[in-house]
Structure 1
Amino acid sequence: MENNIKQPTVLVTGGTGFIGIYCILQLLQQGYTVKTTLRSLKRKDEVINLLKGAGMKSIENLAFVEADLTNDLNWNWAADGCTYVLHVASPFPAEEPEDANDLIIPARDGALRVLKAARHAGVKRVVLTSSFAAIGYSKDPKGYTFTEEDWTDPELTDRAYIKSKTIAEKAAWDWINSEGDGMELTVINPVGVFGPALGKDFSTSIGFVKGVLDGQIKETLPFTFGVVDVRDVADIHLKAMTHPAAAGERFLATATGVMSLYDVAELIRKERPEYAGNIADLKPLDESFYIAISNEKSQRVLNWHPRSKEEVILASVDSLLN
């Protein structure tokens, strides 16, 4: 007898985004029906072409809805008929806005808009993409390991993106606890997202790799960063979407260990010497700059096993040069 179990429908917000497109790809590969929101349906063909370029033969199980995080139009329609929602869309600017509220308001109000539409549609669980920004920017990192228990205090930073991610995530938890009506929320907190870019919309993090390769980054900036592959970020979203133990939890998405820009440059010199011609002479960072971020909970609870940080950076390099 043929197995005709139909996978449920999932809404992915922000289908043109770097993480969003990989979530759609993996959902379709696993047999789900997918709806995705775009700010403009003019970008629909772009999404289809990226998916086909990534090896997706059929996209008949994908539907598009025009919806914008800054207004209510079409959100109820987008969530209608969905069992799960992956709320991936969020503004991430290449540079700091003059007014932090230009980021904070769409991030927070957009998250609440999606949650309200999901509740209205009877969605079982929403998985919200937050960020390490909401975890790691208030504690002194020296000798400390960051986990999901940590929260950034938005009052202690003047960086708009960090404020926006923290405030939006806190607002989502507050809303689910007071108005969720039994709907479940799970939050994913990725560090810097790298890996193979499918199109021209890649992450701000990959811009760092590009800057190192091009020789535009001329000195090692005084910080280290967590690294995670976009394919592993999509994977943890899908695992968190269905795992019974994930409801009401947040999960750090990071490979093991952190890197400096010097480490990135040295890795490329060693593993891709043919591409290293333009790399500037970067200086190593003092050990005191190396922060510690734990992925223990994500591995233990979700059985999630991310690629190594070196593999992730090299995948970014190879995709930039393709």
Structure 2
Amino acid sequence: MRRVVLTSSFAAMSYGHTSSGRTFTGQDWTDVDGPGVSAYAKSKTLAERAAWDFVDRAAMTDPAARGERFLAVGGTTLWIAGIARVLRDRLGVRVPTREAPDLLVRLASRADPALRGHVHELGEVKRASAEKARRVLGWQPRSNEELIADTAESLLRLGLVGNAA
């Protein structure tokens, strides 16, 4: 084995913390016992920690990367409406760009248990930094806009989604 790459979810590092507005790094982990941590976020965190325990950290070939955790994030946080605007502007795909007001989501959560677990996150922006991956690995991420457009073009080309334009 030459190298092991673990991929995970933002959920493995960004939940259960009381301070909002902070920027997360590869040193952060979700506090699985913290307030408002969903079963999904807890499972992602526990699974990644178990994977790190399982994998021989010496599998990384760059000595500077051995045993380190790197975040692969390309830019600033985008809301769904921002993603929709990229799809519209770059591909001409028609997708809704309106967002439900927080008050409406709070009211709907009273009737919908699936929403209830996310109400505490309304208005919270989660940020992450890939500075360490840039510095140690020389990694240069593509822009969020380029990644969104390329992913959408691939999904359209493969017939996995229809073009609403």
Is the pair's TM-score, using the shorter chain for normalization, greater than 0.5?
Answer: yes
1:138 aligned onto 2:16: yes
Q: Give the number of the structure with larger relative contact order, counting CA–CA contacts within 8 Å between residues 6 or more apart.
A: 2
Change (3 A) 1:243 1:292: same
1:282 aligned onto 2:98: yes
Change (3 A) 1:245 1:139: same
1:152 aligned onto 2:30: yes
1:171 aligned onto 2:6: no
> Which runs of structure 2 are paired with 1:155-234 in the superposition (5 Å)?
155-156=33-34, 157-174=36-53, 183-184=56-57
Contact 1:262 1:285 in 2 (8 A): no
Q: Could you say what secondary structure the match of 2:86 adopts?
A: helix
Mark the runs of 5 or more structure 1 residues left unpaired by the alignment.
1-82, 87-126, 177-182, 187-240
| TM-score (ref. length: structure 2) | 0.69
1:284, distance to aligned residue in structure 2 (A): 8.7
Matched letter for residue 184 of structure 1: R
1:253, distance to aligned residue in structure 2 (A): 1.1
1:297 aligned onto 2:118: no
Among 149, 153, 160, the alignment partner of 1:318 is: 153
Contact 1:147 1:293 in 2 (8 A): yes
Hey, what does 1:309 align to over in structure 2?
A: 144
Provide the rounded CA distance (Å) in 1 between the counterparts of 2:100 and 2:83: 11
1:253 aligned onto 2:78: no
Provide the rounded CA distance (Å) in 1 between the counterparts of 2:30 and 2:74: 21
Change (3 A) 1:285 1:150: farther
| TM-score (ref. length: structure 1) | 0.38
1:84 aligned onto 2:2: yes
Matched letter for residue 259 of structure 1: L
Matched letter for residue 44 of structure 2: K
Contact 2:80 2:97 in 1 (8 A): no
Provide the rounded CA distance (Å) in 2 between the counterparts of 1:167 and 1:185: 21
Matched letter for residue 96 of structure 2: A
Change (3 A) 1:173 1:317: closer
Provide the rounded CA distance (Å) in 1 between the counterparts of 2:86 and 2:19: 25
Q: Could you say what secondary structure the match of 1:164 adopts?
A: helix
Provide the rounded CA distance (Å) in 1 between the counterparts of 2:86 and 2:101: 15
1:270, distance to aligned residue in structure 2 (A): 1.9
Hey, what does 2:89 align to over in structure 1?
A: 270
Residue by residue over 1:190-239, the C-alpha shift from the partner in whole angstroms, topping out at 9 and shown as x without a partner, is xxxxxxxxxxxxxxxxxxxxxxxxxxxxxxxxxxxxxxxxxxxxxxxxxx
Change (3 A) 1:308 1:153: same
Change (3 A) 1:143 1:163: closer
Matched letter for residue 247 of structure 1: R
Q: How many residues align?
A: 136
Matched letter for residue 69 of structure 2: R
State the structure with more CA Rg.
1
Contact 1:141 1:292 in 2 (8 A): no
